[in-house]
A and B are shown apart, each in its own frame.
Chain A
Amino acid sequence: MAEPMADQMGAALGLIRRALSVPLSMRVTLAAFAGSLVIGLMLIGLLGVPLGAAARVAAAGAFGDMRAISDTLVFMTPRLLVALGALVAIRGGMFNLGGEGQLQMGAIGAMLPFLAFGDIGVALLPLAILSGAICGGIWATIPALLKLWRGADEVIVTLLMNFIAIFFLKYLVQGPMQPVGSNFNMSAQLPSAGTLPLLIEGTRLHLGVVLALVVAFGVWVMLQHTAFGLALRASGASPGFVRLQGQSAGRMIVSSMAISGMIGGLAGAFEVLGVQYRLIDGFSAGLGFEGLAVAFLAGLEPMGAVVVSLYFGAINSATLSLQSQLSIPSALAEILSGLPIILLAVISGVLLAKGRPVWTSTR
């Protein structure tokens, strides 16, 4: 009597387990998102807004029409790029908290060709993109070199360098880059040849969005389909293994940081070239840290980063609609951005303590 019961129970459990046989990291991430959405809904409910109406407005705001979709994608782009940069570094074993600074330097770099050569036509845009990437890359290589040369912990170095970059940009737009006679903290406007073209008239959708997706694909190819990517992942996850294979961990650190910074630099460059059309003080407002959160929520996978940053973009454009139509404070966006990463970190910590690591700082 008892045994068939137990058998059936066992079979049922087995079925459930197979149905849930998505990787642990995926389940944890889904749980984190589900948990934060529930909390978000509870907040909206507490504000006395009918949930149905809120959901409709939010969906329309994020994906309702071409404009909404393009807003979502434009919000997505810098977060995706910073996340891609962060995950390349972290998978290579460097805890790069410098996304914010690399983004600032990328933005500055994007202005340099125009300031140096003036309006030189079609060559200006590719030069600007390249220059942004290079500036971000150089900025990110510094902490890697300092780590090798002096053993300086990259977490603190990148954190400090964020502020140096922010103030440097502020200095530029208040001084050398400020047009004569202007009192605003911004540079002169780029000529239209030097900006990322809009893809659909009447929206903000610019070419940078597509380029960011291309970069995501490129990072995936690099990590999964090249020997360099294999070495990068191996050296971040198992430095001892790589050392025994006679490879230099130092070279991997430098090259992963350089690539990371170039991608982070693109994030800033695209904001300047596709959204602002000039260098403006304070244009980023914490994008660097949001990108880092995206990277971790994506399980440090480039394709996952596309999905997660799309969520972040949608949250941002949805809350704009919620605010204008239902007077729900747009602060909801930050809450819904912060919550999943907190939940993810806590769940992972508890699992780690139980001996089942979901991810580690370097994997």
Chain B
Amino acid sequence: MDFDAVTIALFLAAGVRLCLPVALAALGEAVSERAGVFTIGLEGLMLFGAVASAVGLAMTGSPLMALVIGTGGGAAAAFVLALGTVLARANQIVMGIGFNLLAIGATSLIRQLVLTNAPPTGSLRTVTMMKLPWLADLPVVGRAFFSQSPVFYLAVVIAVLLWAMLRYSRLGLVLRAVGENAAATDAAGLPVLPIRMGAAVFTGVMAGLGGATLCIVASGGTFVDNMTAGRGYLAIAIAIFARWKPVRVMLVAFVLGLLEALQFQGQYLGIQIATPLLMAAPFVVALIAWIAIGRAGAAPADLGRPFLRGELR
């Protein structure tokens, strides 16, 4: 078994590329779950982001604008979803399942009505590849981590910022308090519902960017029906497995991306495990981790509970 630096670098780079859309969405999910909102509709939010970016690309011709528009599409969809789950106190799980069904149909309809089948013209290189000066020339890691889509660098920055926000800022404290004990936060005179709305919309921003990245960066700008294919649910699992910690979300997503990359590059690396088993591995690991944590109050205590002052019994 001999493999050279180039093979390894390409393998790592593929892992990064494959994990990116899911990682972005999972960062968003981590934030809304920290605030007590279980966004099962993440899959649908990604789809809306993806189709919005495809429309944006068709309209503006600029891949960068496409990403921005996709992000906006995800945020707008998340706002609508949160009107139901946060303000109207709809059951978050039931609402999310309906939303995902609707999203598959609605995005497909948008594709058929707005988008032509012609593949997008023009180069997407501005968003697919950005070599960081000096760093990109480092052996192995240069090609693996510093010759990536600018969205990847953005994701890393966002993850670090989120980490700092949750850990050190007042906003983070309040956000976590809303998820752990909404009633106590309310008793402290803080606005529970606006905070949850904000967190839910932020989730839409990240899921929208994730969907847009999937469409523009990873799929050449073409929207395909149901192109997320379960990545939204996967992102939810990652957020939970990473215990809602942003930096860990990135790492878990990356490991997942590597497992996915194995199916393409495993043969060069001399690895003979059946691909689907590799794909299932993260879920098995997540499940074992979840069981190991047990009933120790691991998840935010008010996760999934609509807030109502005076608490119905």
What is A's interface to B at a CB cutoff of 8 Å? 43, 47, 95, 97, 146, 150-153, 155-157, 159-164, 166-168, 170-171, 174-175, 285-286, 289-290, 292-293, 296, 329, 331-342, 344-346, 348-350, 352-353, 355, 357, 361
A153→B287 contact, CB < 8 A: no
Return B33 CB to nearest CB of chain A, in Å.
11
B290 near A: Cβ within 8 Å?
yes
Of A171, A296, A331, A349, the contact of B104 (CB 8 Å cutoff) = A331
Measured between alpha carbons, how far is A157 from B280 in the docked complex, in Å? 14
Report how far A345 CA is from B304 CA in the complex, Å.
Answer: 14
In the complex with contacts A152-B290, A160-B290, A353-B89 CB distance below 8 A: yes
Is B189 interfacial (CB-CB < 8 Å)? Answer: no
The answer, yes or no, to whether B255 is at the interface (CB within 8 Å) is no
Point out the residues of chain B lying under 8 angstroms from A329, CB to CB: 108-109, 112-113
Q: A152-B291, A163-B234 are in contact. Are A334 and B97 (CB under 8 A)?
A: no
Contact between A159 and B237, CB atoms less than 8 A apart: yes
One of B97, B108, B113, B295 near A293 (C-beta < 8 A): B97
Min CB distance, B184 to chain A, in Å? 20
Min CB gap B290→A, angstroms: 6
> Which of A95, A152, A349 makes the CB contact (< 8 A) with B84?
A349
7 A-B pairs with C-beta separation under 8 A:
A151-B295, A163-B234, A168-B276, A335-B102, A342-B84, A342-B102, A344-B94
Q: Mark B73-94, 1 if CB is under 8 A from A, else 0.
A: 0000000000011001111011
Q: A350 and B102: CB pair below 8 A? A: no
Q: Which residues of B have CB within 8 Å of A166?
A: 230
CB pair B101–A334 under 8 Å, yes or no, is yes
What's the Cα separation between A205 and B279 when bound, in Å?
36
- Contact between B283 and A338 (Cβ–Cβ < 8 Å)? no
- Rounded to whole angstroms, the CA-CA distance of A352 and B305 in the bound complex is 12
- Known A-B contacts: A155-B38, A338-B103. Give 7 more (CB < 8 A): A156-B290, A160-B286, A167-B277, A331-B107, A342-B90, A352-B308, A357-B312
Question: Does chain A have a CB within 8 A of B275?
Answer: yes
Chain A residues near B97 (CB-CB < 8 A): 289, 292-293, 341
Of the candidates B89, B106, B225, B236, the one whose C-beta lies within 8 Å of that of A352 is: B89
A167 to B287, CA, bound (A): 15
In the complex with contacts A329-B112, A334-B108, A346-B290 CB distance below 8 A = no
B154 at the interface (CB under 8 A from A): no
Taking a contact as CB atoms under 8 Å apart, the answer to whether B240 and A156 are in contact is: yes
